[in-house]
Structure 1
Amino acid sequence: MGLTSKKLLVLVAVIAVAMFCATIWLWPRLSRSGVRPVAGRVGLLVGGQLSILAALGLGINSYFGFYSSFADLLGTDQAPGQVVDYSSGGTPGKLGLQMQGHEPVGVPGGGVPARAGRIDKVEIKGAKTGIVTPAYVYLPPQYFQPGFSKQDFPAAVILTGYPGTAESLITRMKYPQTATEHIQKGQMQPTILVMLRPTVVPPRDTECMDVPHGPQVETFFTQDLRQAISANYRVGHTAQNWGIMGDSTGGYCAVKMSMQHPEAFSASVSLSGYYSTHDDPTTGDLFGGSAQLKDESDMMWWLKHKPSPDVWALVTTSRKGEGNYKATQAFIKAVKEPMQVASIILPSGGHNFSTWNRELPAALDQLSKHLSQ
């Protein structure tokens, strides 16, 4: 049973309930003095509390998608992936992309790709950076329809927060399901979604930076990822064909990479993102002592000291419940042409999936409208 397995969650919850019942049942029998009764009481208390904490931890991880496996949690799985190329007939597998399977989209008719689209599970190895990470690629229904067989599609990179799991973009955020429904209703143009987490060198939070003498995560997203996807799918190759979107850390990464690399992404969406790089034990030293790198990681500094990029950005926040409200207002006021900015500001909403699910449908539609085929 994996870390996110419902069977494991149920099993641990049952153990917690059993420990609670055992404590009530056995406590009178262990009320005497002596080493064994005292040890028994300590054992019941410790066992009960640990089982309750384990059940709560598993439940919270399942809901928020912090870690996808025990190896991910403990940081023990550091082995690089092995790339298998598939070069015949345009089958996905060129330039560092390994196909690992397909999944239906969870909507009516989801088993028929030409009606509902398809989700590919892949592993990508950066040609320049050597970074290896899993991802999901959503292909819209039109990708499989004869009338679109020669058409290139716009694409958007979709990022989780830190540490996040790519699966949560499907199970909790429901990006593929929303995309299919909105495409069918004509609210969104057919768009390929490349879904993954920004934590491509776990457990470190690189804030999507090229770390001096460290992982080159920014290069992975702005070059390697786009090249691998374009080599394997019918995707446009210019910045006007590509957007990037994310929540929390993923939102910061999205806006930062579109502003700093308009040659890679012409549009971005930040759901509850922040505007300057975090500096804490999860990040380590991201700047190598460079004051310039630290300044450039602050988007407010970038807007003040760098030429305004010709990109579009959508930022979201809430008047109550979000910590980025004032920073988002300041960011909106600081944007100057040719950059364009839009916003979704809710009356209230916390830094969580419930809030992002309220913002996602409109944000995804708008991102799609700002991409070219």
Structure 2
Amino acid sequence: MGLTSNKVLVLAMFFAAVLFVGTVWLWPRLARQNWRTVSGRVGLLLATQLALFACVGLAANQAFGFYASWADLFGKETEQGIVVDHTAHGSTGGPLQVVSTSDVPGGRGSRPETAGQIQKVDIVGRASRIAAPAYVYLPPEYFQPQYRTRTFPVGVVLTGYPGTAESLVDKLNYPRTAQQLAKDGRMQPMILVMMRPSVAPPRDTECVDVPGGPQVETFFAKDLPEAVLAHYRVGKRPGGWGVIGDSTGGYCALKFAMHHPRVYAAGAGLSPYYKALIDPTTGDLFHGDRNLENHADLWWFIKHRPAPDTSLLVTSSKVGERNYRSTLTFIQGVQATNLTRISSIILDSGGHNFNTWKREIPPALQWLSGRLTDH
């Protein structure tokens, strides 16, 4: 049974209930003061608390999508993506391979012409030599005859760390939200490429080209656009790509838009930070290269590099987010430039969690759509 399976959660709740009842039932028998009864009481309390903790942890993981599998949870997921050859099914054998298709969660109907489609894909980077899975949302218009010659703008959607790409689909509801906004005329139909920024699991690379290690920024700035361009009807000229993410994904989204404005015309960071973190999950990202470290620092970049011709969106909340003051400072720094454009969503309250981001995603997608063009 998988980590996110409802059966696992129900089984954990059942054992917790059994241990609780057993503790209440056996407690009088363990009331004597000797080492056996004391050990029994300690054992029952520890077992019950561990069972309750497991229930809470499993429920939280299902709600927020931190880990996708047991291997992911215990850091055993070290294999990079496997490229699947689908030439027999009409694929060109390019850098993007479609693994499976599914309906949009919460969508109406199953026909792609009316409900859109989710494609699970494998992407292999020719420059970075990184392989990673992703989910691609194709809007209903993509399959409609009147749009057969039209190209579509692309929004790259990134999770936080560790995060799972599945959570972007079924927890944060990006496809369904984009579909509804387009139906209401509040945004244009867009292709969404949804994935996590940690494309070299279990390491958190902070979307950096690590010297002698994973070339993650190259993957997102060069390989990913080339793979999507080779497979889907998307525009080739600048202005048709944007990127959005939360937490670590928000930092990466801002960085990609600032470092590669001819690739990403707009970047939206939901609850972002502005400087690459260094901790046990990242390891040594820069290997003493001060220039590389400065380049990954968005504060330093906005002050010491020419202002990029791109649009940025940042979000925070006055109560509940640690990045509130740093976000205001970043806004002021960008405003001092003569080319980069900055917008913000500031909530009165909201923590660093899915509930907050669900409130920010609809206006952020609408903002992103308004800054992209199709060709």
Q: How is 1:113-192 mapped onto 2 (pairs within 5 angstroms)?
A: 113-192=112-191
Aligned counterpart, 1:249: 248
CA spacing shift, 1:294–1:30, aligned 2, 3 Å = same
Q: Give 3-state SS (helix, strand or coil) of 1:250's partner.
A: helix
Is 2:15 aligned against 1:18?
Answer: no
Q: Which amino acid aligns with 1:27?
A: W
Aligned counterpart, 2:303: 304
- Report the number of matched residues: 372
Aligned counterpart, 2:366: 365
**Cα contact 2:251–2:274 (8 A) shared by 1:** yes
**Cα contact 1:84–1:97 (8 A) shared by 2:** no
Q: Give 3-state SS (helix, strand or coil) of 2:239's partner.
A: helix
Please state how far the C-alpha of 1:282 moved relative to its aligned partner. 1.2
Which is worse superposed, 39-48 or 189-198? 39-48
Q: How is 1:43-122 mapped onto 2 (pairs within 5 angstroms)?
A: 43-87=43-87, 91-92=90-91, 94-122=93-121
**Cα contact 2:158–2:246 (8 A) shared by 1:** yes
Q: How is 1:160-309 mapped onto 2 (pairs within 5 angstroms)?
A: 160-309=159-308
Task: With the length of structure 2 as denominator, give the TM-score of the two structures.
Answer: 0.95
Q: Which amino acid aligns with 1:248?
A: S
Unpaired runs of at least 5, structure 2? none
Which is worse superposed, 206-215 or 127-136? 127-136
CA spacing shift, 1:192–1:79, aligned 2, 3 Å = same
Please state how far the C-alpha of 1:128 moved relative to its aligned partner. 1.8
Which is worse superposed, 103-112 or 314-323? 103-112
Aligned partners of 1:87, 1:233: CA distance in 2, in Å?
16
Post-superposition Cα deviations, 1:134-176, rounded to whole Å, max 9, x if no partner, equal 2100001100000111111110100011110111111221100
Please state how far the C-alpha of 1:238 moved relative to its aligned partner. 2.9
Aligned partners of 1:274, 1:157: CA distance in 2, in Å?
18
**Cα contact 2:78–2:202 (8 A) shared by 1:** no
Aligned partners of 1:76, 1:210: CA distance in 2, in Å?
23
Aligned partners of 1:81, 1:251: CA distance in 2, in Å?
23
Post-superposition Cα deviations, 1:301-354, rounded to whole Å, max 9, x if no partner, equal 111100000001111111121111111111111111211111111111111111
**Cα contact 1:132–1:200 (8 A) shared by 2:** yes
**Cα contact 2:80–2:132 (8 A) shared by 1:** no
Q: Give 3-state SS (helix, strand or coil) of 1:167's partner.
A: helix
Q: Which amino acid aligns with 1:75?
A: G
Aligned partners of 2:97, 2:364: CA distance in 1, in Å?
30
Please state how far the C-alpha of 1:80 moved relative to its aligned partner. 3.6
Aligned counterpart, 1:321: 320
CA spacing shift, 1:95–1:6, aligned 2, 3 Å = same
**Cα contact 2:319–2:349 (8 A) shared by 1:** yes
Aligned partners of 1:113, 1:66: CA distance in 2, in Å?
29
**Cα contact 1:94–1:228 (8 A) shared by 2:** no
**Cα contact 2:80–2:200 (8 A) shared by 1:** no
Aligned partners of 2:361, 2:345: CA distance in 1, in Å?
10
Which is worse superposed, 183-192 or 44-53? 44-53
Please state how far the C-alpha of 1:55 moved relative to its aligned partner. 1.1
Post-superposition Cα deviations, 1:80-108, rounded to whole Å, max 9, x if no partner, equal 4332334578x456422232211111344
Aligned partners of 1:323, 1:77: CA distance in 2, in Å?
30
Unpaired runs of at least 5, structure 1? none
Q: Give 3-state SS (helix, strand or coil) of 2:193's partner.
A: strand
CA spacing shift, 1:50–1:82, aligned 2, 3 Å = same
Aligned counterpart, 2:7: 7
Task: With the length of structure 1 as denominator, give the TM-score of the two structures.
Answer: 0.96
Post-superposition Cα deviations, 1:220-243, rounded to whole Å, max 9, x if no partner, equal 111111111111111112331111
Aligned partners of 1:133, 1:60: CA distance in 2, in Å?
25
Q: Give 3-state SS (helix, strand or coil) of 1:15's partner.
A: helix
What's the C-alpha RMSD, in Å, of the aligned pairs? 1.6
Aligned counterpart, 1:341: 342
Which is worse superposed, 295-304 or 37-46? 37-46
